[in-house]
Chain A
Amino acid sequence: GQQVMQIPQYQHVQEGEDFTTYCNSSTTLSNIQWYKQRPGGHPVFLIQLVKSGEVKKQKRLTFQFGEAKKNSSLHITATQTTDVGTYFCAAGGSQGNLIFGKGTKLSVKP
């Protein structure tokens, strides 16, 4: 079935360093969504990208959708301890459902 591959699985950074997680698909995606799950919490929707080459920013977070609509990235500038959590990308499945990547777990050392 359809899959979205997400790398890296884990990322440990020093506070203030940048962080990037990547999401890749073998098929063209109609859209991609990003979610954040804090430790002990539930996934929370961050953003949806729809257009080829789209770039969206939320404060220190920058989201990109590839030109071919097969990949996406989330970049955090100057990480803070509040950024700790697991970041998931999710893409629409063939049945209209949402398929999640395995996530990137970010830890930030103060």
Chain B
Amino acid sequence: DSGVTQTPKHLITATGQRVTLRCSPRSGDLSVYWYQQSLDQGLQFLIQYYNGEERAKGNILERFSAQQFPDLHSELNLSSLELGDSALYFCASSVSGASPLHFGNGTRLTVT
């Protein structure tokens, strides 16, 4: 158990809809990262937060947004969903930017 909690585990929704993925980091970790993993693909970095502030941005679409709350949990919002957004979305946390990441079990999003 990595200590990182992601909900929900699975999400099935229709094109055009909006969903929110939630992540609770490991106790004591201030950094939260979001990654997208499509079938048999690598881990695409989306965005990183550190102690509530956006720290780094990757290839995150404008339809996607995220935030980290004062209690350090994070939410990833995906809107105007397209079929191509179907993927496994991982949240990871670490003590700081250079520290090893601890991944949650992921949320599998299916857009139909």
A102 contacts B103, C-beta separation under 8 Å = no
B42 contacts A95, C-beta separation under 8 Å = no
Q: CA of A98 to CA of B45 in the docked complex: distance in angstroms?
A: 8
Which of A33, A95, A99 is B100 in contact with, Cβ under 8 Å?
A33
Q: CA of A29 to CA of B105 in the docked complex: distance in angstroms?
A: 28
Nearest-CB residue, chain A, relative to B103 = A42
Q: CA of A97 to CA of B42 in the docked complex: distance in angstroms?
A: 16
- Find chain B residues with CB under 8 A from A100 CB: 35, 42-43, 45
Q: A42-B90, A88-B42, A101-B42 are in contact. Are A96 and B103 (CB under 8 A)?
A: no
A88 contacts B55, C-beta separation under 8 Å = no
Q: Interface residues of A, CB < 8 Å — how many?
A: 24
B105 contacts A97, C-beta separation under 8 Å = no
B104 within 8 A of A: yes
A98 contacts B33, C-beta separation under 8 Å = yes
Which of A30, A96, A98, A102 is B101 in contact with, Cβ under 8 Å?
A98
Chain A, 79-99, CB within 8 A of any chain B CB? 88, 90, 92-93, 95-99
- Find chain A residues with CB under 8 A from B102 CB: 45
Nearest-CB residue, chain B, relative to A4 = B42
22 sampled A-B residue pairs with Cβ under 8 A? A33-B100, A33-B101, A35-B101, A42-B104, A43-B90, A43-B101, A44-B2, A44-B103, A45-B101, A92-B97, A93-B45, A93-B56, A95-B56, A95-B57, A96-B55, A96-B97, A97-B55, A100-B35, A100-B42, A100-B45, A102-B42, A105-B40
